[in-house]
Each structure stands twice: as structure tokens, then as C-alpha cells.
Amino acid sequence: MNIEDKLKVYVEINKEIADYRKKQREKKKILTNLENEIYEYMSNHDMDSITIGDGKIILYDRKINQSFKRPAIIEKLTEFCDEKKAEKLAESILTNKVFTVEKKLRVDLKNKKK
């Protein structure tokens, strides 16, 4: 397969993936609306699960980790040291984050100038 053929296949697959993602976003929006309605119904009727043909729909709590933000870091650090030292430590933590960079390809078919 020569480079022109590879480029054509690459662009075509990117188009297909973009279409799939668009359909996925549409389905996700519908799913989110249904989840909200089901959640509201279950909450209003003090239900923690609903049995359906294939199994159950269960209402549960999920822990979500908060991201590191300056005020939260400072607040926690002030529990162990004075505020000035906490500010310095927070600054050090935030400025010394480690990032990974990897090379990726992207198809831009709209030919927009940035």
C-alpha cells in the first residue's frame, strides 16, 4: 500500500470515527435525560433498585475525586503548617506538575486557519 492509499484510508477512517462520535453524543444525551427521569422517579418513590427483565437498575452513590486546586491544597496544608508555608508548598506542587507529551495525528478537513 503506497502513501496515497494510506492517507485515503486514514482520512476515511477518521470520517467514520467522527460520525460514530456524533451518534454517540446524541445517544448519550438521550441516555442522560432518561437517567435523570429514572433517578427522579426512584428518589420520589424511595427506591434503591428496580428489577427489570435482564436484571436490575440500581441507584447508588459514587465517590468522585476532586481535582487539585490551589484553595483546596492550601486549606489542607494549613492543617499541618502556617498559612505562609502552606502557600509556598501549594505553589511548589502546582508549578512542578509532570506532564507527558505524545505525538498524535489529527485530520482537519475544514481547512480552517487558526
d(CA 52, CA 46) in angstroms, rounded, equals 17
d(CA 69, CA 90) in angstroms, rounded, equals 9
- The domain of 50 spans 1-61
The two most distant CA atoms of the chain are separated, in Å, by 65
**Identity at 79, one-letter amino acid code:** E
Whether residue 94 is found in the same domain as residue 52? no
Does residue 114 belong to any structural domain of this protein?
A: no
Does residue 109 belong to any structural domain of this protein?
A: no
pLDDT tens sequence across 42-78? 889 998 888 888 888 898 887 776 677 888 888 888 9
Does residue 11 belong to any structural domain of this protein?
A: yes
pTM (predicted TM-score)? 0.57
The residue written with cell numbers 477512517 in the block is 13
Whether residue 18 is found in the same domain as residue 55? yes
